[in-house]
Chain A
Amino acid sequence: MLDTVPPNGLIEVQDVEKVYRTGRLEYPALRGVDLSVEAGDFLSIVGPSGSGKSTILNVITGIDRPTAGTVRVGEALLNDMDEEELAVWRGEHVGIVFQFFQLLPTLTALENAMLPLDFARLGSVTDRIERARHNLALVGLVDKADHLPLELSGGEQQRVAIARALACDPTLLVADEPTGNLDTDTAQHILELLAKLNADGMTVLYVTHDRELAGYANSTVHVKDGRVVDGGLAPDHGIGS
């Protein structure tokens, strides 16, 4: 367990536990996790199904609240924020890519891509459209801006999801099994895209169960049974429990 925050630390997860309660049953998804991520990192989180890797992402993004422990991202201590504050914070600082794309089916690719800007009320509508187009161009889909998700392939939908995640120019991009529903070639393209974003300075975290896909990242954290078992990182990265 770390006693101090590394000088460039963007994310600090300290002794986090997460227990899910369903009726009379309790399921400990995380059993005391410590994790530090520096700004600019490209980190993959690997583990078998049910190991808690997605839960780690959820507590980092505030989608789930830890049962114990603290989570700090940048200057935000997530434990102190209520749901409304978390939603606003996410919109402005975090981009999230889901396994099943989760695009809004009634919005076009452009509209999906500018949705976080609408929530954050950043700039005029024209500015938002321009920014969304820029992000779609970044992911190579500006020619499909007016298409509904129904009219896009799986890979295209995931790229639109990435464009959406980039809407507010976040400091952190997280992706939960971003290639889980894609074929090998498409998966490779998506991860190359994430790598490119990281190369441009964005901190990127992604979860995968595939060790080969995990290798695209600069560093990997292994999770098993709700614990981080192996950092696989350079010694100056702070990890472990």
Chain B
Amino acid sequence: MRSALQRRSWKELSRRRARSVFTVLTIAAAVTALWMFAIPQLTNRAMDEQVEEHRLDHVLLTPGQFSLTDEQVEELRALPNVDGLDVRSGFGNPIAFGNNRQDAQFVAIRDFEDQQVNVVTIQDGAAPGFGELLVDPQNSRSGRLAATTGDMLTLISPRGGSGDFKISGVGGSLRFSDNAREGAPVVYLTQETFEDLTKSANFAWLNFRVADRTGDRLAETLSAVRTTFEGMVGEVEYQTVPQIRPEGDWPGRESMENVTTVFYVLASLAALSALFMVFTTMNAVVREQTDEIGVMKAIGGRRRQIAWSYMRTAAIIGFAGTAAGLVVGVTLSNLLLQAISPSLMTITPGWGISWPLAALSVVVGVGGSMLASLPAVFRAARVPVHEALSDRGVSASFGQGWLDRTLQRSTRLPRMAQMGLRNTARRKASSLAAGLQVGIAVGIALGLLMLGTTVLHAADEWRNAIGGDIEVNDGRGTPGLKQRIESVPGVAEVEGVYWSTAGVAEQRPSMLGLEATTTLFGRDLVEGRWFTQQEAEDLARVAVVGLPLAELAGLAVGDVVPVETPNGPETLEIIGIDRNMTDDGKVIYVPIETHYDMDLRSVPNWYWVRTSDADEAFIDEVAAGIATSLSSRSYEPYLEINYIDANAARAEERLILGIVSILGIPIVLIGLVGLASTMTMAVLDRTREIGILRSIGAGAKDVRRMIRAEGLALAAFGWALALPLGFLSGWAMVWVIGRAFNASFGLVPPYWAVLPALAVTLALAVAIVHRPARRAINLSPGTALRYE
């Protein structure tokens, strides 16, 4: 049997039903926002499972073209600590599907039944037989190639002519699907088909996994594999340094983590915003019951007993809100994960629940509610009994402050609008809280817009850093290719670039050899200088590094750093730091002459081509001309058309920003719930007053005008607060993203959105006050006058 005090705690819920509902909704919103933290956990869990299922490699070696027998492969697989090894071949080739023509990456699988590393799994159809192809599912997800099981894909031969190949199925691997997401479409074929097409039995990649990668075991195994391999094939000229996958890493993880950084920020803001509203709501509840608390004290209630009574109510509301929030939060986080994973990862994870987060939700939802009510309860319990009991008649809180006196001068407004405006000052704390909540909500929305405009603007700038319209990738470098490209009609400028990889301070950046006088690379130095023509001619060991790389590797202008190159160690002096995000800014720029000297090369392996007209159709024509010209001379380079990549990247960025904006919805909702709660309670509190107004002749329109004026005043106040809050929150989010990307962004505030934000806020306020106003008007004056 429950005591009267305990029963009171439960009855409080139905006494102010509207307020209880709003408080429950707010707590639910806070808990829902917390579940945004679950997305990274659920993703990591799903990806870890996928990594094991696909047996993602630990090490990738690129020794150039090589040949191994089956016995030699088995001998490498049998080396100590090797837990799976595969050799693969591949090539780039133009394809046509319908009217669409583009370059694709082809990956040959020795034996689909015996894959030990980077396993390609079949999702639809069957593994390809001789003369058949398997397409990666990421091709269609990224919008690059819509071909599927049963379709015919045309391969355009470098020597002229073409051939149609049947697609046997859809399947992929974590390793290669990521390429399809970020680069060209990926297609798989058998080794036999590869040899028939290319007339070559050579391999290009060697991947392996280790059983034990603790301590130096991985390095020892790598050394053993390289030694054994080099013993089999003779002299090897590696194209890149060994690619070692860090523990726990997987393709697309960096992109995912960058996005989830924003999730964390938004989830934290939403949770804080909701807790703030719970705090103000519980404050208001207790403040309104000062006289009841006085009565309880007058009849013997002790402070602790009274406090526990309110805390119990808060706990009940907290449980209800937490339960609702858990249902919505689990659902929403999983739905969001399903929505974003195809763009950022190569899998679609299943549904999951994070139990630690569920426990945290209970702590925050229930504990937060109880804690939020404590200050007000203790404050009210300290009010002397006689003072608490004398809460009657005319409100004592209007008329004494400068704000009240200022509002009294609003005589030019219609009477009911004056009253509505002045009513905002009667409960200053509640009005301030409502204004803050609206301000936070609208501010976050503006901040997200600022994040979007800043990031999109920066991304466009970085894309335009490479001023070419077409890129020709030549693999190992072919003499005379530049002149060949220059002779194609429509080509305005060609610049040769030499690309390889390097190792510096545990980072594996790209190394680009550029002309000292490059015109197709948009330099954006934040510190130091570019290398000079003299330094290029002197083969000076100087370098400009990308800003993200500089921060990750702790590099500064003036540093002289050891660098690992495919052909041995080198030492480079850092002379500048550049802000561009080529290869995510993890790049070292050196004079092309220096790069040749380091890698024992003499011709570029990458060409940037600028066309004489930026029209997309013209660029397509020129690209086709280059492909034809090079094919006729048996060159097999790989073309990339920059506007296609740019469009795809923009679409992905917009999707991500769209999703981030959706994540901002809980925060906006919390703000609106706050306004709705304040207005509903304001109207309820003035029920008797509204009864008086109706008694002395006020029509429904008059009452509605008064309530609407109060709502609009609070909304406008909130919007005014939103402007500085929005700038601050946007700046904070851009800073966080900048840290995550190790990038520097120039802020692009969305000034155009300021007035529309006001219009939307006011419109929402009008909508929100409609229901409480209607309720107030529909009450008979007699009932209203008897309202307590």
Contacts and interface: CB of A to CB of B under 8 A. Distances in A.
Given A106-B419, A119-B697, A119-B702, A64 B780 contact: yes
B525 to A, nearest CB: 62
Contact of A151 (B395, B399, B419, B782): B399
Contacts of B407: 106
B419 A107 contact: yes
Interface in A20-60: 58
A68 to B, nearest CB: 16
B54 interface: no
Contact of B394 (A87, A98, A150): A150
B695 A63 contact: yes
Contacts of B392: 100
B325 to A, nearest CB: 33
B572 to A, nearest CB: 74
A77 interface: no
B780 A83 contact: yes
Interface in B469-488: none
A73 B395 CA distance: 34
B398 interface: yes
B408 interface: yes
Contacts, number: 98
B696 A119 contact: yes
Contacts of A100: 392-393
Nearest to A164: B696
Interface stretch (A3-11, A89-97, A218-226): A89-97
Interface string B685-700: 0001101111111111
A178 interface: no
Contacts of A214: none
B702 to A, nearest CB: 6
Contact of A65 (B692, B699, B780): B780
A184 interface: no
Given A63-B782, A65-B780, A105 B700 contact: no
Nearest to A96: B695
Contact of A84 (B398, B422, B699): B699
A118 interface: yes
Contact of B398 (A58, A106, A119): A106
A26 to B, nearest CB: 16
B696 A90 contact: yes
A98 B692 contact: yes
Q: How large is the interface on B (under 10, 10 to 19, 20 to 34, 35 or more residues)?
A: 35 or more
Interface string B366-402: 0000000000000000000000000011111011100
A168 interface: yes
A63 B781 contact: yes
Contacts of A102: 688-689, 692
A88 B394 contact: no
Contact of B698 (A119, A165, A168): A119
Given A63-B695, A101-B394, A148 B782 contact: no
B402 to A, nearest CB: 14
A205 B394 CA distance: 25
A62 B689 CA distance: 17
Nearest to A90: B697
A21 to B, nearest CB: 11
A58 B782 contact: yes
A23 to B, nearest CB: 12
B415 interface: yes
B417 to A, nearest CB: 11
A101 B782 CA distance: 16
B360 interface: no
Nearest to A120: B697
B415 A118 contact: yes
Contacts of B785: 63
B426 interface: yes
B423 interface: yes
A135 interface: no
A106 B686 CA distance: 13
A181 to B, nearest CB: 8
B692 A148 contact: no
Contacts of A87: 694-695, 697-700, 781
Interface string B209-238: 000000000000000000000000000000
A88 B698 CA distance: 7
B689 A104 contact: yes
Contacts of B782: 58, 63-65
A110 B398 CA distance: 16
A84 B393 CA distance: 27
Interface in A127-151: 148-151
A103 interface: yes
Contacts of A157: 394
Contacts of B696: 90-91, 96, 115-116, 119, 164-165
A198 to B, nearest CB: 20
Contacts of A62: 781
Given A84-B699, A106-B423, A115-B696, A149 B415 contact: no
Nearest to A148: B399
A53 to B, nearest CB: 14
A83 B696 CA distance: 12
Interface string A103-125: 11111100100011011100000
Contacts of B423: 106
A100 B395 CA distance: 12
A142 to B, nearest CB: 18
Most buried by B among A91, A105, A111, A148: A105
Leading 4 A-B pairs by shortest Cβ distance? A91-B697, A106-B422, A64-B782, A119-B697
28 contacts: A63-B781, A64-B780, A64-B781, A83-B778, A83-B780, A86-B781, A87-B699, A88-B697, A90-B696, A90-B697, A91-B696, A92-B697, A96-B696, A100-B392, A104-B689, A105-B394, A105-B426, A106-B404, A106-B408, A106-B423, A106-B426, A107-B419, A111-B415, A116-B696, A116-B697, A120-B697, A150-B399, A168-B697
Interface of A: 58, 61-65, 83-84, 86-88, 90-92, 96, 98, 100-108, 111, 115-116, 118-120, 148-151, 157, 164-165, 168
